[in-house]
Structure 1
Amino acid sequence: MKERTLRLRAIKKLIRAHRIRSQEVLLTQLQNEGFQVTQATLSRDLKYLKVGKVSEGDEGYFYALPSDDDRRESERHHIQDFLRGYISLEFSRPVGVIRTLTGHANSVAIALDSLHLEGLIGTIAGDDAVLVVLAENITGEQFLETLRTRIPEFEE
């Protein structure tokens, strides 16, 4: 399993198990778990996981993961952004091009990246097109099936 995936799991486990009040404390705990991570990487990981701070009154704040309701609402928002801008999708091997309405490519790319679709390595957005790069072992048809599963309203 990739180092990043293991580290993200460890961060979630630590946040769920302890009232962590600062990045410095979390960084130390990760290092105690055997992860060599910089402050900048940890900041990016916390943003990626959508970790927030929750007030504990006079005691200050501690880190918390988003609730299931928050995650579902965020996913629904990304799906709507995708559907609002999407026009078409065409693949050539592990690379695809999504045509979008003018000015919607960025929100479509962000939506795809945020949905963490299996096999999607990443996206690059222009103004009315998104370059989609798939993992070597994923076909365009497999990616389309993943999209149909995650976005039932998607018709291609």
Structure 2
Amino acid sequence: MKERLTRLKTVRKLIKNYRIESQEELLGHLQKEGFEVTQATLSRDLKLLKVGKVSDGHAGYVYTLPDENERHESEQIYIQDFLRGYVSIDFSGNIVVIKTFGGHADAVSNALDAMNMDEILGTVAGDNCIFACLREGVTGDEFLKSLKLRIPELEEE
């Protein structure tokens, strides 16, 4: 199965290029592109991409993507959640440990997940600490460099 990020990019491309009225139709397009995905996974993808439905001006509705300004505002919210909650970042092997203020781990973890970083396989959040598992071959330094590209303010902290 292809990577999640590749699938998300493909979903965006399909919605931009085709008049898609239903998840079933979108699933068909994804299968033609080589993806094996369940309806539940597609639902989560659509929610993550903030896909909506708008009237086609006739008798139906079609999927649409948020405009770039809306996406940028959403990304800024996640960045602020991350900056507001994290205390420190350290790593050992392919495990990143992000310490947060009490009660902030969930928000920081959600922000990290929303960034869709290729370097991360997944995250687990407690109350004041997050474990992120990095993909095979990705170092902690590479992860930190990628994170700083997404959150330039992190450099100043």
Change (3 A) 1:148 1:28: closer
Unpaired runs of at least 5, structure 1 = none
- Give the residue type in structure 2 aligned to 1:132: A
The alpha carbon displacement at 1:111 in A equals 0.5
SS of the residue 1:59 aligns to:
coil
Q: Deviations over 1:73-94 (max 9, x none)?
A: 1111000000000101111111
1:29 maps to what in 2?
29
Q: Deviations over 1:98-146 (max 9, x none)?
A: 1101110000001011112231111110001111111121111111111
1:56 maps to what in 2?
56
Aligned equivalents of 1:125 and 1:27: distance in 2? 31
The alpha carbon displacement at 1:56 in A equals 3.4
Q: Are the equivalent residues in 1 in contact too, given 2:88–2:98 (CA < 8 A)? A: yes
Q: How does 1:127-138 map to 2 (within 5 A)?
A: 127-138=127-138
The alpha carbon displacement at 1:37 in A equals 3.4
- Give the residue type in structure 2 aligned to 1:41: T
SS of the residue 2:19 aligns to:
coil
Aligned equivalents of 2:13 and 2:108: distance in 1? 31
Q: Deviations over 1:25-70 (max 9, x none)?
A: 2223334445443322322222232211123355332101222112
Unpaired runs of at least 5, structure 2 = none
TM-score by length of 1: 0.86
* Superposition RMSD in Å: 2.2
Change (3 A) 1:15 1:133: same
1:19 maps to what in 2?
19
